[in-house]
Amino acid sequence: MTLEISHSFPPDIIREILLRLSVESLLRCKSVCKEWYSLISDQHFIKTHYNLSSTNDINFAHHRLIYNTFEQRNNLYSCPLYDVLFDESVNNATQLEYPLQQTRSRGFRIVGSCNGLLCILVNDGNTLFIYNPSTRITNILPGSKQGAGSCTISYGFGYDETTHDYKVVKIWRCDRTWPYWGTRIYSLKTRSWKEIGCFPLANPLIDGKFLNGALHWTSWSDWGDIASLDLGKESYGELLQPEYDEGCKILTLGVFGEWLCVLCNYCEICVVDVWVMKVYGVKDSWTRLLSIAHPNDRFSIPSYMQFHAPLCMSNGGKLLLRFGTKLVVYDCTDSSYSEIQNFHVFYDACIAVESLISPLGLVDNNGDES
């Protein structure tokens, strides 16, 4: 049957058909014949498949919600994003397997997601691994001596297009009286850590957010600047934030599609403004995309502390975002909320596009790493 298909269709047609399949189907197709194995393993095919999956996926067919819960912090789950947005449930969630799952009991946090790869930090503060939830391939990184133990640490994960390299950034400070934060970068291509300049803000807030070839952090103590680390130049810069309204507020930095995003929680009036930077690096391009009133439901912690940057938004205006220990869908058309069902107490989550990209840093036909 396979030989008949191969002879019935030109190679270009077969390639176009395969490019539109899911990763799960492609992994099965690699066993069909040597020609298909070679084609699906080709780095140009892998990159084209990811680009098609991430840009031509109106119904989120190739997008997954990856998450863990407070009850199962050592387990990682994957669920079709379509089900979350439109069926408002995680009924089709599957538990993912990874090498550290059975040997670690401390749980972990998702540092970031990039090109279908996740960077995950085990809660010992120093064990990192890069993981592809579609292929189940894992790359456990060597530990970095600096910042181990009881130090305060923030991380970031992203892709350097100039060198075709994935990089993990570690910001650390062990002595709270010391004003400077050190920065170390791990390169998947060189398989080594190196130290660069000091982090420019006083106190980094959560892990860095990746966009436009750079990682971004805000500070607990300075709302005027967003620190940016260009992964190609490996140097710091800064971006100015929007002009917020007066009043007590809590800010959360994120990435919303192709825009840098800030969620501004106004504590006294219980309203959240979603700001996006429509032209990267241009302060005047900050735009208040929408304002969200808090739902009437009461949770265990004050409502103004519970909103975080949105994870995604559908073409129909359905916004998926974190609200305390819950995930909710906010419908921009009628300002209504729907809580995701069958979802236990939420701990961490991200959106990942299905991808064949290897976390091991394999070399393609041009000598570049993926």
Which band of pLDDT confidence, cut at 50, 70 and 90, is reported for residue 224?
Answer: low
At 86 the pLDDT is 86
Q: Which of 154-163, 168-177, 197-206 has the highest mean pLDDT?
A: 154-163
Around Cβ 255, how many Cβ atoms within 10 Å? 20
Instruction: Please give the pLDDT value at position 56.
Output: 67
What tokens does 237 get?
């810069």
**Per-residue pLDDT tens digits for 225-258:** 899 999 999 999 999 889 888 877 788 888 988 8
62, 73, 67, 63: which is closest to 123 by C-alpha? Answer: 73
Sheet holding 76-80, edge to edge: 94-96, 76-80, 63-69, 346-353
User: In this predicted structure, what is the pLDDT of residue 296?
Assistant: 57
In a domain, 217, yes or no: no
Q: Does residue 88 lie in a domain region?
A: no
Residue 175 CA to residue 173 CA, distance in Å, equals: 6
Q: Is residue 168 assigned to a domain?
A: no
Confirm whether 222 is domain-assigned: no
Residue 359 falls within a domain, yes or no? no
For residue 280, count CB atoms less than 10 angstroms from its CB and return exposed for 0-12, middle for 13-18, buried for 19 or more: middle
- Report the pLDDT averaged over residues 39-61: 88
Integer Cα distance of 130 and 155 in angstroms? 13
pLDDT (average), residues 17-37:
92
Q: Which tokens go with 14?
A: 């077969």
C-alpha angle with apex 12: 7 to 17, nearest 5 degrees? 90
Give the pLDDT score at 342. 67
Q: How confident is the model at residue 363 (pLDDT cuts 50, 70, 90)?
A: very low
Instruction: Please state, in angstroms and as integers, the Cα–Cα distance from residue 16 to each residue in 3, 33, 174, 352, following that order.
Output: 18, 17, 53, 23
Cβ–Cβ contacts within 10 Å for residue 49, how many? 24
Count the domains in the chain: 2
How sure is the predictor about 304, in pLDDT bands with cuts at 50, 70 and 90?
very low
- What's the confidence (pLDDT) of residue 189? 92
The dihedral built from the CA positions of residue 353, 359, 364 and 368, taken in this order, carries a sign that is positive
pLDDT of residue 75: 82
Position 190 scores a pLDDT of: 92
More confident residue, 137 or 335: 137
CA–CA gap between residue 154 and residue 147 (Å, rounded): 10
- In angstroms, rounded to a whole number, what is the distance separating the alpha carbons of residues 166 and 231? 9
Asked if the model's pLDDT at residue 147 lies above 70, the reply is no
Altogether, the residues listed in the chain come to a count of 370
Would you say residue 366 has pLDDT above 50? no
Q: How far apart are CA 42 and CA 326, in angstroms?
A: 40
pLDDT at 19: 92
Q: Which pLDDT score is estimated for 299?
A: 44
Instruction: Judge whether 325 lies within some domain.
Output: yes
Tell me, yes or no, whether 216 lies in a domain.
no
Strand partners, 209: 216
pLDDT, averaged across the chain: 82
Tokens of 220: 């607990």
pTM of model > 0.85: yes
Q: Is the dihedral of CA 205, 208, 210, 213 positive or negative?
A: positive
Say whether pLDDT at 346 is over 80.
no
Q: Is 223 left (phi over 0), alpha (psi -120 to 50) or beta?
A: alpha
Per-residue model confidence as pLDDT tens digits over 7-16:
567 888 889 9
For residues 199 and 147, is the Cβ–Cβ distance under 8 A? no
Q: Which structural domain range is residue 323 located in?
A: 242-345
Average pLDDT over residues 183-210: 87
**3-state DSSP: the chain helix, strand, coil percent, rounded to 5?**
15, 45, 40
User: In this predicted model, what pLDDT tens digit does every residue of 99-126 receive, in sequence order?
Assistant: 766 555 567 889 999 999 999 988 776 7
Question: What pLDDT is recorded for position 369?
Answer: 42
* In-domain check, residue 134: no
